[in-house]
Amino acid sequence: MNTSQSSRRARPLWVRLHGSEWVSSVALLAFMALMLVPIYLMISVSLRSEADSAANPFGLPLEPMWQNYVLAFQNMHYLRSVGNTLIITILTAVLTVLTASMAAWAIVRYTRRWTRTAYQVFVAGLTIPVFALITPLYKIMQQLHLLDTFAGVILAYTALTMPFAVFFFAGFLRSVPAEIEEAAAVDGCGLLRTYWSVVFPLLKPATATLSVFVILQVWNDLVVPLVFLSSDSHQTVTLAVYGTIGAHSFSTAQLLPTLVLGVIPLFCIFLLLQRYVVAGIAMGAGK
Amino acid sequence: MIRRRSALLLILPAGLIFFGFVIYPLLRGLQLSLTDASGMGGGKFVGLDNYLAILKDRTAMTALRNTAVYTVVVVVVQNGLALLVAFWLYKLKRVRNIVRAGLLLPAMMAFVAVGYLWSFIYSPLGGPLDTVMDALGLHSLEKVWLGDPNMALMAIAAVYIWMYTGYSATIFLANYLAISPSLMEAAELDGASGWRRFRSIDWPLLAPSLTINITLSVIGSLRVFDLPFIMTSGGPINATQTLSLVIYSRSFTDFRFAYGTALAVVLLLLTAIVGVTQATLLRRREVDL
């Protein structure tokens, strides 16, 4: 009550701010437009002929040349690449969510010295760059016959995301009271039953945010597939973009459709699940 | 409620995966870096030879310097810009959501796609950037952006900053929105405004998000690989060579596994040292406030 009264007294200031708010809003929108120019270029040039965009890169695609996409689509083996990436991404997300949430549950609800140490070991992994272990990891994959397999890539991604996932679930679980789980235990639920029918549903919001993040990271990554996947049939979308452009001539009518096809799936996910993406970033989710 | 055996069982799957594919490779890497192993067989113990070789490796030393310069530039510019944008977004409620979504879009793109897109934009043969500069009468300032040794690293840093400014701004904005509105109004009424107000009110209250943002941008830029790999492959004359790039080429192009791992250990140590120092400094600052 007090604050609203005092802000009313300060009216002249607010009025002044209000007048300029319109101008600043337009300025901010203009800034956003400027930042989006590269993305506009990517889409518009992808729909124009080589000669047309060379004359003026900023022109509108008045007669969109969809045939540019046909070639890119074929060169990238697009459906196969998207399928492969989907398999890797979804299985990594599922494996990470299940294992990390179980571990976090034990860490938060069974506090002993060894579980605390386990937590610290997991969290210490948060800042390890993938290049710090990629060479020995390659040798290990070779010995386990996991090179050029989806299983190898999925395990590598799961391990690399594990620190953040455990950290994230543990933080979430600490804010949830243990009573519901205890009631379930009194009712005679076994461990896995309690996890699956009580804890896992409880974690839903955290699971959604984390999954969106795993998808974002895994889908866009080039390094792991570049090093661990070699056969064409296992190509991911990022690898397809890299391979197609590396192998073909550098013409805008071929280059840009490839890029658009490469980023479009995630743009769609972002538009659909924006809420979770923003929530995840706001919580300081890793990149 | 959870018993000892159950706890063990619950931690086991995550622990095994993490140990097998992160901890064990790290330990194995330490050991590998002390041998002369190549792509194929094992190799014998050679002590610190690989580490001494790094000191004599011009490319590696240049890469180390480039990585440091890149990190400093990205961390300072990206966070400064993001802070401004976040402040702007905080003030303007009506356009906030749409602008935040727009600015986040570049961060949703894969590095490969961004790298090729900007190679096209920077292209010296009628690329869009030069077209704009011609139109503005700035022809004399044009460079071969990715081909000029003095320019290439900064051109790549600019791309990274373009990608992640919206991302950092989102984190700052979340922090802004969590500050109680009455506190902000009180500041307004006290007549605090402009720089002084930012300095004494906003800045200290933004400490938590600053910690997160600086940590993320340091980690992200110390490991920089994809953009120079796609845009310049480390050239011209090693001007954009980075630590991760050298680790990759030594390990998987030259198949000098042991040497590559030694470089990886250096990257790990560097990340750890920077990480610990920065965590201590930033946390102390948070406590002080």
Which residue from B minimizes the CA distance to A105? B10
Model pLDDT for residues B223-235, shown as the tens digit of each residue: 999 999 999 998 8
Phi then psi dihedrals of residue B257, to 5 deg: -60, -45
ipTM exceeding 0.85, yes/no: yes
CB-closest option in A129, A162, A262 to B110: A262
Residue B158 lies in a domain: no
Would an 8 Å CB–CB cutoff place B64 in contact with chain A? no
Q: Inter-chain contact B20–A134, Cβ cutoff 8 Å?
A: no
Instruction: Give, rounded to a whole angstrom, the gap between the first and last alpha carbons of chain B.
Output: 39
CB-closest option in B120, B181, B261 to A255: B120
Residue A202 lies in a domain: yes
Q: Inter-chain contact A136–B261, Cβ cutoff 8 Å?
A: yes
Which residue from A minimizes the CA distance to B210? A284
CB-closest option in A41, A181, A222 to B1: A181
Residues of B in contact with A78 (CB under 8 A): none
Residue B112 distance to chain A (closest CA, Å): 7
Domain co-membership, A139 together with A11: no
Q: Inter-chain contact B252–A138, Cβ cutoff 8 Å?
A: yes
Residues in chain B: 289
Domain co-membership, A20 together with A159: no
Residue B248 lies in a domain: yes
Domain co-membership, A265 together with A164: yes
The total domain count for chain A is: 2
Residues of A in contact with B166 (CB under 8 A): 35
B274: pLDDT confidence band, cut at 50, 70 and 90? confident
Residue A127 lies in a domain: yes
**Residue A15 in this model has a pLDDT that exceeds 60:** no
Domain co-membership, A230 together with A255: yes
Domain co-membership, A43 together with A175: no
Residue A287 lies in a domain: no
Q: What is the pTM of this model?
A: 0.89
Residue B50 lies in a domain: yes
Residue B123 lies in a domain: no
The total domain count for chain B is: 1
Residue A31 distance to chain B (closest CA, Å): 9
Q: Are A87 and A150 in contact (CB under 8 A)?
A: yes
- Rounded Cα gap, residues A30 and A121, in angstroms: 46
Contacts of A65 (CB under 8 A, 6+ apart): A47, A48, A49, A253
> How many Cβ pairs within 8 Å bridge chains A and B?
282
Residue B4 lies in a domain: no
Domain with A263 in it = 70-282
Domain co-membership, A102 together with A204: yes
Residue A247 has a pLDDT of 66
Residue B86 has a pLDDT of 94
Of B282 and B100, the structure prediction assigns the larger pLDDT to B100
CB-closest option in A3, A107, A127 to B271: A127
Would an 8 Å CB–CB cutoff place A39 in contact with chain B? yes
Give me B28's structure tokens: 């194995």
CB-closest option in B101, B112, B267 to A131: B267
Would an 8 Å CB–CB cutoff place A163 in contact with chain B? yes
Of A91 and A125, the structure prediction assigns the larger pLDDT to A91
Residue B104 lies in a domain: yes
Q: Inter-chain contact B21–A287, Cβ cutoff 8 Å?
A: no
Instruction: Give, rounded to a whole angstrom, the gap between the first and last alpha carbons of chain A.
Output: 42
Residue A19 has a pLDDT of 60
Mapping DSSP onto H, E and C, the string for chain B reads CCCHHHHHHHHHHHHHHHHHHHHHHHHHHHHHCCECCCCCCCCCECCCHHHHHHHHCHHHHHHHHHHHHHHHHHHHHHHHHHHHHHHHHHHCHHHHHHHHHHHHHHHHCCHHHHHHHHHHHHCCCCCHHHHHHHHCCCHHHCCCCCCCCCCHHHHHHHHHHHHHHHHHHHHHHHHHHHCCHHHHHHHHHCCCCHHHHHHHHHHHHCHHHHHHHHHHHHHHHHCCCHHHHHHCCCCCCCCCCCHHHHHHHHHHCCCCHHHHHHHHHHHHHHHHHHHHHHHHHHHHHHHHC
Domain with B97 in it = 38-108+163-288
Which residue from B minimizes the CA distance to A266? B108
Which of A65, A88, A119 is a domain's end point? A65
Residue A286 has a pLDDT of 44
Model pLDDT for residues B186-218, shown as the tens digit of each residue: 777 777 667 777 788 888 888 888 988 998 899
- Rounded Cα gap, residues A282 and B47, in angstroms: 46
A1: pLDDT confidence band, cut at 50, 70 and 90? very low
A6: pLDDT confidence band, cut at 50, 70 and 90? very low
Q: What is the CATH number of the domain that holds B208?
A: 1.10.3720.10
Q: Inter-chain contact B11–A28, Cβ cutoff 8 Å?
A: no
A280: pLDDT confidence band, cut at 50, 70 and 90? confident
